[in-house]
């Protein structure tokens, strides 16, 4: 049963190119399936989340992270009476615009673009992917996703000014996104907070004692695990504390969001869109824990000197390849050379690099930059 404020597929604003209905899948289910079968989705398997594969091959990558976000988001959606099919489609597509090398790659691409009067934003790039780059259908370019999925791609984690982004005017920039889209950013942060603590501990870059000292809620839950299983090995106590912490965040998100919606008197999707603020979120207590965990990860993991060499390498690879193709666009694949006749060259080079996996961009660097040095 959908809540009154949920998005209903039968009331969708539809696709850019009308298509006949499917006999046994609704439109949001079809969108989910189109995302799963997209090349950009498959490439997430070889894109860095925090740790590159050269560091360890069983840590999260963009694809496994995406699946964890989808699991959390769907769980919360069902409890809130939201459209779980739309939520799942949005969760699966939310990271397809990320370039290689994780956030380091995004920063390097954005810096290269800003030097030339442009910018790079992974949400806007994801929209370009699903609207233009994916070529699977004879009738149209892109995946021809529903309006609600395309809107959620750009609005799930940020609000865009109509003045600064007139090209996005069709996406109701003056309105809040539906709750299904609002949920994705919260599920995303919940997933990567737990995952990065787990991978950081496995990588021996995070010490359990430091985590307990730096994250109050983890310390309390670890003590509970230790009291219950005093003879268990430390890793299993860590796992139990982390599992319980994740459950605390998800449960609080459900309860607090329900309270927010009731307090705001939200009765319809229109009420959601016209509300002055986003309505989903954590309680003040859990929000403090979230901020504490995020600050701890930034200080102890994301800024760890152990990751500096890989960060610098990723930045260098992107910067040098970007400069090379700006100076020698004839070295681009033919399809991108053709695009450069219609679009600014920096945008074309950016599109090419952003679509690469970590593996492929190293191959290109070896081919063009390393060979040149030799």
Q: What is the DSSP string of 66-88?
A: HHHHHHHHHHHHHHHT--HHHHH
Q: Is the pLDDT of residue 125 over 60?
A: yes
pLDDT confidence of residue 56: 62
pLDDT confidence of residue 370: 81
C-alpha–C-alpha distance, residues 166 and 244, integer Å: 44
Give the mean pLDDT of the chain. 95
Nearest to 170 by CA among 28, 275, 13: 13
| Residue 228, CA distances (Å) to 237, 244, 342 in order | 9, 13, 65
Residue 283: pLDDT band (50, 70, 90) is very high
Coil/strand/helix, residue 352: helix
Q: Is the pLDDT of residue 372 over 70?
A: no
Q: Kindly state the percentage of the chain with pLDDT values over 90.
A: 93
C-alpha–C-alpha distance, residues 244 and 293, integer Å: 14
DSSP letters of 220-236? Answer: HHHHHHHHH-TTS-HHH
Q: Is the pLDDT of residue 20 over 80?
A: yes
pLDDT confidence of residue 373: 45
For residue 53, what is the DSSP state?
T
| Residue 178, CA distances (Å) to 12, 67, 69, 182, 368 in order | 12, 21, 18, 6, 45
Residue 222: pLDDT band (50, 70, 90) is very high
List Cβ<8 Å contacts ≥24 apart for 13-22: 13/146, 13/147, 13/148, 14/146, 14/147, 15/144, 15/145, 15/146, 15/147, 16/131, 16/140, 16/144, 17/139, 17/140, 17/144, 19/144
Query: How many CB atoms lie under 10 A from the CB of residue 23?
Result: 5
Nearest to 96 by CA among 146, 140, 152: 152
For residue 374, what is the DSSP state?
-
For the chain, domain boundaries: 9-308, 309-373
Q: Is the pLDDT of residue 287 over 50?
A: yes
Q: Is the pLDDT of residue 141 over 50?
A: yes
pLDDT confidence of residue 371: 61
9-308: CATH homologous superfamily?
Hypothetical protein af1432 (1.10.3210.10)
Nearest to 124 by CA among 346, 359, 347: 347
Contact 122, 106 (CB under 8 A): yes
Sign of the Cα pseudo-torsion (34, 99, 302, 365, in order): positive
Contact 91, 66 (CB under 8 A): yes
C-alpha–C-alpha distance, residues 213 and 208, integer Å: 9
DSSP letters of 3-29? Answer: -TTS--GGG---BSS--PPPSS--HHH
Measured in degrees and rounded to the nearest 5, phi and psi for residue 251 equal -60, -40
C-alpha–C-alpha distance, residues 97 and 135, integer Å: 16
For residue 175, what is the DSSP state?
S
For residue 272, what is the DSSP state?
H
Q: Kindly state the percentage of the chain with pLDDT values over 70.
A: 97
Contact 346, 116 (CB under 8 A): yes
Beta bridge partners of 48: 61
């Amino acid at each position: 049963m959908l809540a009154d404020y949920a998005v209903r597929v039968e009331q969708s604003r539809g696709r850019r190119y009308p298509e006949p209905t499917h006999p046994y899948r609704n439109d949001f289910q079809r969108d989910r399936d189109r995302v799963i079968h997209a090349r950009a989705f498959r490439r997430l398997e070889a894109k860095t989340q925090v740790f590159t594969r050269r560091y360890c091959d069983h840590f999260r990558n963009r694809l496994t992270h995406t699946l964890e976000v989808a699991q959390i988001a769907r769980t919360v959606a069902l409890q809130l009476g939201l459209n779980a099919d739309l939520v799942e489609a949005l969760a699966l597509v939310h990271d397809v615009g990320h370039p290689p090398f994780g956030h380091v790659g995004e920063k390097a691409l954005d810096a290269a673009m800003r030097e030339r009067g442009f910018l790079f934003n992974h949400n806007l790039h994801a929209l370009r992917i699903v609207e233009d780059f994916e070529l699977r259908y004879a009738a149209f370019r892109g995946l021809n996703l529903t309006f609600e999925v395309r809107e959620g791609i750009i609005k799930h984690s940020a609000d865009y000014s109509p003045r600064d982004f007139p090209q996005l005017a069709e996406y109701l920039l003056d309105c809040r996104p539906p709750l299904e889209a609002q949920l994705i950013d919260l599920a995303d942060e919940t997933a990567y907070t737990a995952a990065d603590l787990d991978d950081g501990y496995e990588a021996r870059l995070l010490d359990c004692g430091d985590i307990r000292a730096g994250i109050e809620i983890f310390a309390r839950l670890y003590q509970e695990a230790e009291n219950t299983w005093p003879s268990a090995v430390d890793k299993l106590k860590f796992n139990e504390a982390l599992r319980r912490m994740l459950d605390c965040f998800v449960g609080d998100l459900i309860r607090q969001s329900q309270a927010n919606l009731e307090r705001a008197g939200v009765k319809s999707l229109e009420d959601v869109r016209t509300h002055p603020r986003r309505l989903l979120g954590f309680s003040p207590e859990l929000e403090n824990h979230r901020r504490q965990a995020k600050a701890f990860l930034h200080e102890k993991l994301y800024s760890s000197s152990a990751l500096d060499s890989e960060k610098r390498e990723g930045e260098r690879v992107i910067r040098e390849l970007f400069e090379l193709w700006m100076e020698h666009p004839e070295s681009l694949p033919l399809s991108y050379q053709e695009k450069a006749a219609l679009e600014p060259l920096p945008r074309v080079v950016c599109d090419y690099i952003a679509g690469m996996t970590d593996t492929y961009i190293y191959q290109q660097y070896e081919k063009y930059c390393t060979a040149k040095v030799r």
